[in-house]
Structure 1
Amino acid sequence: MITRMNHVSIFVLDQDSAYDFYVNKLGFKVHTDASMGPDMRWLTVCPPEQPDLEISLMSIQEGMMFKGDAAAQMRTMVSEGTFGFGVFECNDLMATYEELKAKGVEFKKPPTKEFYGYEALFKDDSGNWFSLGQKKDKK
């Protein structure tokens, strides 16, 4: 029986730039940053309050995962914002929105009230986009 997920990948165009974005702008913590041979790096980060979920910032390059033109096609899809997507939560959307915006995070949609709570949409430095939400208070 599967009991949990502990790793998930986000494909990035440049791991050094992604490191800066996820650590210095989003405030994630580095879990692992290790060389895996020539031009290969295992880089994982995690939200500070969720250290058991490692997000692998996976470089898109031709090799074991991407054969032939697949790496170039994947880089195009990611950079155009047509591939990556995720959902993050926070406790105070307005405060987090203002903090991230001040750090240069590009928002595609400002905080908006939705039926499930509040949501804003932002992009990372590679083109992946994310929902940032605050759930409704349960009263």
Structure 2
Amino acid sequence: MIQRVTHVTVYVKNEDEALAFFTSKLGFKKQSDSEMGPGGPRWITVSPAGQPDFEITLFNPSTWFKGEEAKTATEQIGRQAMIILASDDIEADHRALTAAGVAVEGPVRDLPWGRDLVFKDLYGNSYNLVQSK
């Protein structure tokens, strides 16, 4: 079942500026900063100093998306956040969400760091359900 909130995604225009703001201005700790493949977009997370198990993902949509999707996402900078939820059994959660009529986007995906799926609430907000390795 869904256990807790682990990440909140914040769209940013520039990863380095955002990282500097969160760490220098707010005192957050950098948890990760890595490329998602050679020359790919970066995965950057920061956490409040007293809550290392909760991370804010600093996400530049222009490096992750292309074309109209990039334009639409970039227009949401300052207005959009995605909630990432943790699962202890993503297959069971996938079945339960589907049975409940939740709009699940595609099957469970196997990724280098674990497994995930994306679903939407009734207003179209996206949520990423993750089962880490």
TM-score (norm 2): 0.54
Q: CA RMSD in A?
A: 2.1
**Contact conserved, 1:62 with 1:70, CA < 8 A, in 2?**
no
**Larger RCO (CA within 8 A; separation ≥ 6):** 2
CA offsets 1:110-135 (integer angstroms, 9 cap, x no match):
xxxxxxxxxxxxxxxxxxxxxxxxxx
* Rounded Cα–Cα distance in structure 1 between residues aligned with 2:18 and 2:50: 20
Q: Which amino acid aligns with 1:8?
A: V
Residue number in structure 2 paired with 1:11: 11
Q: Which amino acid aligns with 2:52?
A: P
Residue number in structure 1 paired with 2:46: 45
Query: Per residue, is there more strand in 1 or in 2?
Result: 2
* Rounded Cα–Cα distance in structure 1 between residues aligned with 2:6 and 2:44: 14
* Rounded Cα–Cα distance in structure 2 between residues aligned with 1:62 and 1:45: 19
* Rounded Cα–Cα distance in structure 2 between residues aligned with 1:35 and 1:53: 21
Q: How many residues align?
A: 81
TM-score (norm 1): 0.51
Note if 1:25 corresponds to 2:25: yes
- Whichever of the two has the greater Rg, that structure is 1
Q: Which amino acid aligns with 2:70?
A: A
Could you tell me the percent identity over the aligned residues?
40
Residue number in structure 2 paired with 1:98: none
Structure 2 alignment gaps of length 5 or more: 82-133
Query: Which contiguous aligned blocks of 4+ residues in structure 1 show a shift greater than 3 angstroms?
Result: none
Residue 62 of structure 1 deviates from its aligned partner by 5.7
